[in-house]
Structure 1
Amino acid sequence: MTDDPLFFVAVAATVFVAAILIFGVVTFARGGEFNRKHGNRIMRWRVGAQFVAVLLIILFAWSRMNGGN
């Protein structure tokens, strides 16, 4: 499994989603002008990145079922 490059791409995408989520939650908790101005945009970025990460995970699982390494 770890010899498949798609595995590392899916893991990297998942870590990226977690980083965006943590950044968004921290800015939300701090409040202020930055959160008012960018909070919604940050969470929209998270949703988009999460969509890509889920697609990569599904693609990885599908490739493993269909004879991938």
Structure 2
Amino acid sequence: MASDPLFWLMTVSVLIVLGILLWGVGTFGKGGDYNRKHANKIMRWRIGAQFVAVLLILLFVYLRGNG
């Protein structure tokens, strides 16, 4: 599995979602003008990245599944 490029692409996409999520939670916790200005944009980025990550996970399971 470690030599599978689709596995690494899927892993990187999940880590990107995690990074965006942590960025959003951090700005929310800090509050202020930056959060008011960018909170919705950060959420949209997370939703888009999460959609891509879920599609890649489903593709990986479909192509590499034993059934």
Asked whether the two chains share a fold, i.e. TM above 0.5, the reply is yes
Q: What is the TM-score with the length of structure 1 in the denominator?
A: 0.91
Deviation at 1:6, TM superposition (A): 0.2
TM-aligned CA deviation for residue 65 of structure 1:
2.1
Provide runs of 4+ in structure 1 moved above 6 Å.
none
Q: Does 1:65 align with 2:61?
A: no
CA distance in 1, matches of 2:24, 2:48: 14
Tell me how far apart the structure 2 counterparts of residues 19 and 35 of structure 1 sit (CA, whole Å).
16
CA RMSD of aligned residues (A): 1.4
Q: Which ranges of structure 1 fall in alignment gaps of 5 or more residues? A: none
Q: Report the secondary structure of 1:33's partner residue.
A: helix
Identity fraction in percent: 58
Question: What SS does the corresponding residue of 1:10 show, helix, strand or coil?
Answer: helix
Give unmatched runs, 5+ long, in structure 2.
none
Match of 2:34 in 1: 34
Greater displacement, 36-45 / 57-66: 57-66
Q: Does 1:14 align with 2:35?
A: no
**CA offsets per residue over residues 2-60 of structure 1, 9 Å max, x none?**
22100000000000000000000000000000000001110110000000000001101
How far apart, CA to CA, are the structure 2 residues paired with 1:49 and 1:19?
A: 10
Q: CA deviation at 1:66?
A: 6.5
